[in-house]
Chains A and B, each alone.
Chain A
Amino acid sequence: MSENVQAATLSQVRSQVKKKKRKELWQKIYSNKAALAGLIILSIYALMLIFGPLLSPYDPYEIDLQNKLQGPTLDHLMGTDDKGRDILSRILYGSYLTLGVGFSAVLFGGSVGILLGLVAGYYGGKIDSIISRLIDVMLAFPGILLALAIVSALGTSLINVTIAVGFFSIPMFARIVRGSTMEVKKLEYIDAVRTLGANNVIILFRHILPNILSPIIIQASMRLATAILSAAGLSFLGLGAQPPSPEWGAMLSAGRDFLFNAPHMALFPGIMISFLVLGLNLLGDGLRDALDPRMKA
């Protein structure tokens, strides 16, 4: 009976501590003007993602050659493209593609990277050496070249771009998680749970992972910006989303051919990508300052 009471009190204390920590984090983000600006920008994008198709004034694929290459007007707030399609509608519909590719790539790269980092940092020895060399090799590829090589092998499509961009995010997550795991595994409470009979899987996923979430969250927010830029870049090169897809990088690429007579075709998709990345960078900086002041730039 008294054990039950103790367990209940412990879980209450735990949830109160969690609530307090969450409240403190929000307070730090709210007090940081740049992070707040980032949060507001990203909220607008989230609304666009959810309500985009409802707000869209036209069918994003509907061709209307009589109204092609029109500049911004009251009927078409962002103008029309070379096929007479409404650019605003295409941007609203395309948000799920651009954001979806970025999120999926980070989710894929993050999951694999976290797993590799946990295993390398926790087990050490030969396993660590092998994984660390693998990380070194993956980091030896400059910029998006590794993603390019993967796309060249798998073929051009948005799914392959997601895999490729996710793949080149793996080493960044793995390196950070490895370092954090090595620090945390030395702490006394890990010895304590081991003595209580917890196995390695439980120690890794229930006791180490929740305690290294801060660097993972910071890394994820930073990588998301890079992933969105890289995926849009690959679509811009014609290696990702294919016409008539309203993916923003592909729209920008199509607009490049009409710079002389319809610069708005390249202008609006570029603005949308830039503000999205700006929002992520601002929030990423804010999260870093709030969660890990040691990393403050």
Chain B
Amino acid sequence: MAVFILKRLAQVIPVILGVTLVVFLIMQMVPGDSAVILAGEGASEQTIEDLRESLGLNKPIYVQYFDYIKGVVQGDFGNSLKNGKPVLEEISTRLPITFELAMYSIAITIILGLIAGIVSAIRPYSWLDMSFMVIALLGISLPSFWLGILLMYTFAINLGWLPVAGWESPMHIILPAITLGAGGAAIVARMTRSSMLEVVNQDFIRTAKAKGLKGYVIIFKHALRNAMIPVITVVGLQFGSLLGGTVLVESVFAVNGLGRMIVDAIRTRDLPVVQGGVLVASLIFVFVNLIVDILYRVFNKRIDLN
């Protein structure tokens, strides 16, 4: 296992370097002179020239990339053009909010998805199964930003049960977390159902039934454990769309997280903040994928041992 983890860690390094390169190159795609854009409107020739010199924009592009990497490794993501504060400081205040939202959402994804998937698989083609699968199909098809608006209109504006927007109390978390987790829950439900249906038709389940084991023991001890492997992969993959989804959901519910920070920075052309935000979110995703890979291996190993 240790060898496997080390191997996977080694594989992650070129991907991380690639991610930094892509983020760096995308920012080079900005039309026009970067120094003029970074200096802002109405800046004098001298200010632009000074900025070019201080940021090293007159150096060859590969030198600029190495300088950028050096900065990132030292935690220097540059300064915001809007308020002059270090980008890392901005990220460190926003990231915990997004992380909290993501954790609640992934919990909703897993709990709702597993319950719906298991119930559907236990009673396939029943009205309950059909209802869950229709809801799951709708969950996949509804744009998260629209679902957010619908939930906000129903539960906050019409019924007044929950706050409309913001991130001050636990009540504020409910609607954004459901909005963000719903799509993933739908995918996990579909995956759990099909994975369970495949497993329950296998010989070892028939043997377990023949041995007279109780229904819940067969479902939870034998079927679910075997059906979990593809489900873990899907949950891991969902984390990526979840991180992307925070951009939209945080904007709908005015949550001051990383996603909203990036969108606001795009609107004000605050490129260092966009660059830093996208890079941090992508690096988190790379590490989550690594953990999912290791978990996948752990589950596989356990099955092998049994």
Which A residues contact B (CB, under 8 angstroms)? 133-134, 136-138, 140-146, 148-156, 225, 229, 232-233, 236-239, 249, 252, 255-256, 259-260, 263, 266, 270, 273-275, 277-278, 281-282, 296-297
B271 within 8 A of A: yes
Task: Enumerate chain B residues within 8 angstroms of A236, measured Cβ to Cβ.
Answer: 143, 145, 248, 251
- B residues 6-30 touching A (CB-CB < 8 Å): 14-15, 18-19, 21-23, 26-30
**Contacting pair A297 B271 (CB below 8 A):** no
Least CB distance, A168 to chain B, in whole angstroms: 10
Supposing A137-B22, A274-B142, A281-B141 touch, asked if A233 and B252 sit within 8 A by C-beta, the answer is no
Closest residue on chain B to residue A144 by CB atoms: B244
Closest residue on chain A to residue B20 by CB atoms: A137
A–B pairs, 15, beta carbons within 8 Å = A141-B278, A142-B282, A142-B284, A143-B245, A143-B247, A145-B281, A153-B26, A155-B31, A260-B157, A273-B143, A281-B141, A282-B137, A296-B194, A297-B191, A297-B194
- B residues 63-110 touching A (CB-CB < 8 Å): none
Task: Enumerate chain A residues within 8 angstroms of B284, measured Cβ to Cβ.
Answer: 142
**Contacting pair B247 A141 (CB below 8 A):** no
**Contacting pair B244 A156 (CB below 8 A):** no
Task: Enumerate chain A residues within 8 angstroms of B143, measured Cβ to Cβ.
Answer: 229, 232-233, 236, 249, 252, 270, 273-274, 277
**Contacting pair A145 B282 (CB below 8 A):** yes
Least CB distance, A158 to chain B, in whole angstroms: 15
Question: Which of B166-174, B221-229, B262-270, B294-302 contacts its partner?
Answer: B262-270
B152 within 8 A of A: yes
Contact with A along B15-53 (1 / 0, CB 8 A): 100110111001111110000000000000000000000
Give me 12 other A-B pairs in contact (C-beta within 8 A), A149-B278, A229-B143, A274-B138 excluded.
Answer: A140-B18, A140-B289, A142-B239, A142-B241, A142-B282, A143-B240, A148-B266, A153-B26, A156-B267, A256-B252, A266-B149, A274-B143
**Contacting pair B18 A270 (CB below 8 A):** no
**Contacting pair B145 A233 (CB below 8 A):** yes
Least CB distance, B117 to chain A, in whole angstroms: 11
Please, how many angstroms separate the alpha-carbon atoms of A75 and B244 in the complex? 40
Please, how many angstroms separate the alpha-carbon atoms of A96 and B179 in the complex? 28
Please, how many angstroms separate the alpha-carbon atoms of A102 and B136 in the complex? 23
Looking at B141, B144, B152, B252, the one whose CB has the most chain A CB atoms below 10 A away is B141
**Contacting pair B274 A149 (CB below 8 A):** yes
**Contacting pair B19 A141 (CB below 8 A):** yes
B291 within 8 A of A: no
Least CB distance, A199 to chain B, in whole angstroms: 32
Please, how many angstroms separate the alpha-carbon atoms of A151 and B267 in the complex? 10
Task: Enumerate chain B residues within 8 angstroms of A277, measured Cβ to Cβ.
Answer: 140-143
Supposing A148-B262, A277-B143 touch, asked if A142 and B274 sit within 8 A by C-beta, the answer is no
**Contacting pair B263 A270 (CB below 8 A):** no
Task: Enumerate chain B residues within 8 angstroms of A146, measured Cβ to Cβ.
Answer: 22, 278
B200 within 8 A of A: no
Task: Enumerate chain B residues within 8 angstroms of A237, measured Cβ to Cβ.
Answer: 247-248, 251, 263
Please, how many angstroms separate the alpha-carbon atoms of A194 and B124 in the complex? 50
Looking at B26, B242, B265, the one whose CB has the most chain A CB atoms below 10 A away is B26
Least CB distance, A1 to chain B, in whole angstroms: 57
Task: Enumerate chain A residues within 8 angstroms of B26, measured Cβ to Cβ.
Answer: 149-150, 152-153
Task: Enumerate chain A residues within 8 angstroms of B140, measured Cβ to Cβ.
Answer: 277, 281
**Contacting pair A140 B141 (CB below 8 A):** no
Please, how many angstroms separate the alpha-carbon atoms of A249 and B152 in the complex? 18
- B residues 113-133 touching A (CB-CB < 8 Å): none
Task: Enumerate chain B residues within 8 angstroms of A149, measured Cβ to Cβ.
Answer: 23, 26-27, 274-275, 278
Closest residue on chain A to residue B14 by CB atoms: A133
Task: Enumerate chain B residues within 8 angstroms of A133, measured Cβ to Cβ.
Answer: 14-15, 18
Supposing A140-B286, A145-B282, A281-B137 touch, asked if A156 and B149 sit within 8 A by C-beta, the answer is no
Least CB distance, A26 to chain B, in whole angstroms: 23
Closest residue on chain A to residue B144 by CB atoms: A233
Please, how many angstroms separate the alpha-carbon atoms of A141 and B288 in the complex? 12
**Contacting pair B248 A233 (CB below 8 A):** yes
Supposing A149-B278, A256-B252, A277-B143 touch, asked if A142 and B267 sit within 8 A by C-beta, the answer is no
B4 within 8 A of A: no
Across the interface, B29 reaches (CB within 8 A) one of A136, A153, A225, A255, namely A153
**Contacting pair A266 B146 (CB below 8 A):** yes
List 10 tightest A-B contacts by C-beta distance, closest first.
A143-B244, A137-B18, A270-B146, A142-B243, A278-B141, A142-B240, A142-B285, A277-B141, A152-B266, A153-B29
